[in-house]
Amino acid sequence: MTKRAYQERFYPTAEQAELLARSFGCARFVWNNTLKHRTDAFYQNGEVIPHWALEKRLVQLKQDFSWLNEVSSVIFQQLLRDQQQAFKPFWEKRAGYPRFKSKPWGQSIRLTKAAFRFKDGQLFIAKSSEPLNIHWSFKDGLPSEPSAITISKDAAGRYFVSMLCEFESEPMPVVNKTVGIDLGLKDLFVTSDGFKSGNPKYTEQYEAKLAYLQRKLAKKQKGSRNRNKLRLKVARVHTKIADCRRDATHKATRTLINENQVVCVESLAVKNMIKHPRLAKPIADAHWGEFVRQLKYKAQWVGRTVVEIDRGFPSSKRCPTPGCGHINETLPLEVREWRCPSCGSVHDRDIAAAINIKTAGLAGLASGATGTGATTGVVA
């Protein structure tokens, strides 16, 4: 059995919206209060407070601030677990220090079965007698009863519920087709078959509108109603860009996984590349990291294989002609087509890179250097 989160949008009643507003506010207060307590204890006394001590402190916190009892206590218990989990990558030096939560930029709470009830296709949450008005997109319903849910409100004021369910993944029929993918900016991805996806450049499409609204927002008085109205308009443009990008990525990765038994991609250090002063925005808009992440988990669900080759492999500089393999010493980024000085073949830069990525990925997979799982290691 595999766990999968199903996200749906819902439309709360006035009473539910008020309850959720209180829940978000209380959760934000407890998170920030606890994080400050841990930070002060560490920097003043060098003390690392264990999780059990924070749960004990929560009891006292609820006595000192009686309004915390107006919402489900499960919210705070899950919140403390989430904060404890957030500190693990920090101590392991894999992530930054956990941040304090702010109100305008999205809010969320997580509930276990003790704080919600799922009955006859309806979801009830604690402290509310009415079911959530969920806009269901799954015609066949959920595969199982949710074991946990996360309720969130984004910066544009939309409500979502994410339900964690167990489902039985079914392998897809084996197909005799493999593909290599070269990720880029002119085209988001180019396949070894010669297909070029193009780049819709969603950020660029809405850039003028976004700049106009942001200029107007900057002139509004802080705390005013007009400023809040404009803030929502700016947030809606950002969510529109994110939704378009996410939808396109899901459709592209699903097609690639459905049509190919093995997908070979190049591992990219997106966090390093995004520091480029001129290409940072286009790289962020390209969604490369999310693209590869989706390929991996979708491949695992249906029994496909994703091979990642080493980012140092000269995929663009190498001649893909069988029996040649000449590697150019330099190949400037502006050169989109080049002739091999060894065999005389003319190559499209991106298609040649995709072919080389496929060749290297399949060679590593055949030799066992990268394993045979749904996601593989690095091919040198």
pLDDT for 140-189, tens place per residue?
788 899 999 999 999 999 999 999 999 888 889 999 999 999 999 999 99
Q: Which residue has the tokens 């060679």?
A: 363
Q: Which of 40, 55, 182, 207 is catalytic?
A: 182
pLDDT band at 369 (very low <50, low <70, confident <90, very high): low
pLDDT for the residue numbered 111? 95
pLDDT band at 8 (very low <50, low <70, confident <90, very high): very high
Residue 317 has pLDDT above 50, yes or no: yes
Residue 303 CA: distances (Å) to CA of 181, 293, 366 = 19, 16, 17
Sign of the torsion formed by the C-alpha atoms of 271, 277, 279 and 280? positive
- Determine contact, residues 379/370, Cβ cutoff 8 Å: yes
Residue 20 has pLDDT above 70, yes or no: yes
Is the pTM of the predicted complex or chain greater than 0.75?
yes
Q: Which of 15, 168, 266, 334 is catalytic?
A: 266
pLDDT for the residue numbered 39? 93
pLDDT for 120-142, tens place per residue?
889 999 999 999 999 998 877 88
pLDDT for 330-362, tens place per residue?
888 888 898 998 888 899 999 999 999 999 999
pLDDT for the residue numbered 173? 92
The mean pLDDT value for 233-252 works out to: 95
pLDDT for 84-103, tens place per residue?
999 999 989 888 999 999 88
Catalytic residue status for 92: no
Residue 371 has pLDDT above 80, yes or no: no
Catalytic residue status for 266: yes
Torsion of CA 284, 288, 289, 293, to 10 degrees: 140
Other beta carbons less than 10 A from residue 209's beta carbon:
13
Tell me the three state secondary structure of residue 9: strand
- Determine contact, residues 375/212, Cβ cutoff 8 Å: no
Domains and CATH numbers, the chain: 2-167 (no CATH), 178-198+244-367 (3.30.420)
The mean pLDDT value for 77-82 works out to: 94
* The token pair that represents 227 in the structure block: 């400023």
* The token pair that represents 97 in the structure block: 């220090």
CA distance 263 to 249: 15
Catalytic residue status for 182: yes
Residue 15 has pLDDT above 60, yes or no: yes
Q: Which distant-in-sequence residues (6+ apart) come within 8 Å of 221 by Cβ? A: 227
Q: Which residues pair with 375 in a beta bridge?
A: 306
**Mean pLDDT of all residues belonging to the chain:** 90
